């Protein structure tokens, strides 16, 4: 921020930007490709499920951080983590650059950087690569968060907001990035079949500042049900990540989202009907419908979520930012309320209340 500029004492999202890999594939084409590739290795039940899953019209296409689909089948674990690192940094840097440009600030003004991911582990974390790529100051406060799964963007935002309270003159950047294709596995396990029909790659960045401009961060809430952690998680097999999803997940997520929204809206004496805009993590069509019915959302309010599901699938943690960005394209009027909702590993659900400023 420039000397003498007004600081409001409240954290605001100045800008949001997203980035997806240039390689995309239509859902039906991806299904045909997998059927051809695994015709001799999967059982007939799995092959039938692939046909059914990939003909689901809720997802039209997805973007993958690859140049050639054969990468999925030929890369070893070392090559996979190298691809994760390279692509995570590239996509994150693209999103940050666009967000900074939109906010009208430079990378040299960034005082803190918070990055979350769950699809790859490197040490040091992605933040240090971004510091170098963007030419950030050597005294930038940098944090890498792991293990929050699809819901990770909102805990990230909470950390970023708390840092802004400590350093209100700074510009902060919150980044969520996932290379879900770096966890690709195939087998007759239902979790793998569903995952391969649902997940894509992407990154998102938000610029935060203390100026009274943008989206005010009003309140946040989280809900955890550790006893249900096996319903959605990564497990390790032979040193690699395998996604694990339960058929009970839609019911568990509906309960978790309902609880976190009661906690969030209760802080301000609000009801769901008071919220005009909803940035809901895509999750999957069945989960979206369960949450719609539980909260009482209209199909109009779900248009941004369904648009992102159709065009990108589920990109894990950046997805909720993609949905918010979709809402922002049409604008959030001054005083209008918006709720970001994400859910995932833990089992957890997270929500943020925003207000147009």
- The reported pLDDT for the residue numbered 167 is 84
Lowest mean pLDDT among 66-70, 248-252, 267-271, 298-302: 66-70
User: Do 155 and 145 touch, CB atoms closer than 8 A?
Assistant: yes
Q: 12-209, which class in CATH?
A: alpha beta
Lowest mean pLDDT among 176-185, 229-238, 268-277, 319-328: 229-238
Split at pLDDT 50, 70, 90, the class of 4 is very low
Q: Which residue has the tokens 């819901």?
A: 151
- The reported pLDDT for the residue numbered 9 is 67
User: Do 22 and 225 touch, CB atoms closer than 8 A?
Assistant: no
The CATH architecture one would assign to domain 215-356 is 3-Layer(aba) Sandwich (3.40)
- 217 contacts: CB under 8 Å, gap ≥ 6: 10, 11, 12, 13, 157, 161, 208, 352, 353, 354
Same fold, 12-209 and 215-356: yes
**pTM assigned to the model:** 0.95
- The reported pLDDT for the residue numbered 258 is 97
- The reported pLDDT for the residue numbered 173 is 98
Greater pLDDT, 55 or 72: 55
Taking the domains of the chain in order of start, what are their residue ranges? Answer: 12-209, 215-356
Average pLDDT score over the chain: 94
| Helix, strand, or coil (residue 21) | coil
**213-239 pLDDT per residue, tens:** 999 999 999 999 999 999 999 988 888
């Amino acid at each position: 921020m420039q000397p003498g500029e007004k600081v409001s004492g409240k954290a605001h999202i100045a800008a949001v930007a997203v980035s997806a890999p240039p390689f995309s594939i239509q859902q039906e084409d991806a299904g045909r490709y997998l059927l051809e590739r695994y015709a001799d290795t999967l059982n007939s039940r799995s092959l039938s499920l692939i046909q059914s899953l990939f003909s689901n019209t809720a997802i039209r296409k997805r973007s993958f951080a690859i140049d050639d689909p054969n990468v999925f089948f030929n890369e070893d674990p070392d090559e996979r983590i190298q691809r994760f690192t390279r692509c995570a940094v590239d996509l994150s840097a693209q999103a940050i650059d666009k967000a900074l440009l939109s906010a009208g600030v430079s990378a040299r003004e960034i005082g803190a950087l918070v990055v979350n991911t769950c699809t790859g582990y490197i040490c040091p974390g992605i933040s240090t690569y971004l510091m170098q790529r963007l030419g950030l100051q050597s005294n930038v406060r940098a944090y890498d968060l792991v293990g929050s799964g699809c819901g990770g963007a909102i805990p990230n935002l909470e950390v970023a907001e708390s840092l802004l309270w400590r350093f209100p003159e700074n510009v902060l950047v919150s980044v969520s990035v996932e290379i879900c294709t770096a966890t690709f596995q195939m087998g007759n396990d239902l979790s793998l079949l569903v995952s391969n029909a649902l997940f894509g790659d992407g990154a998102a960045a938000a610029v935060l500042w203390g100026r009274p401009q943008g989206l005010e961060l009003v309140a946040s809430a989280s809900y955890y049900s550790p006893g249900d952690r096996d319903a959605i998680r990564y497990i390790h097999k032979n040193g690699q990540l395998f996604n694990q999803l339960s058929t009970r997940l839609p019911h568990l997520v509906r309960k978790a989202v309902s609880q976190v929204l009661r906690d969030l809206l209760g802080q301000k004496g609000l009801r769901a009907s008071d919220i005009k805009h909803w940035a809901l993590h895509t999750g999957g069509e069945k989960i979206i419908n369960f949450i719609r019915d539980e909260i009482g959302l209209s199909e109009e309010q779900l248009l941004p979520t369904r648009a992102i599901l159709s065009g990108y699938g589920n990109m894990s943690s950046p997805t909720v930012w993609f949905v918010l960005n979709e809402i922002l394209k049409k604008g959030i009027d001054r005083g209008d309320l918006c709720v970001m909702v994400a859910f995932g590993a833990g089992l957890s659900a997270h929500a943020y209340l925003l207000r147009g400023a």
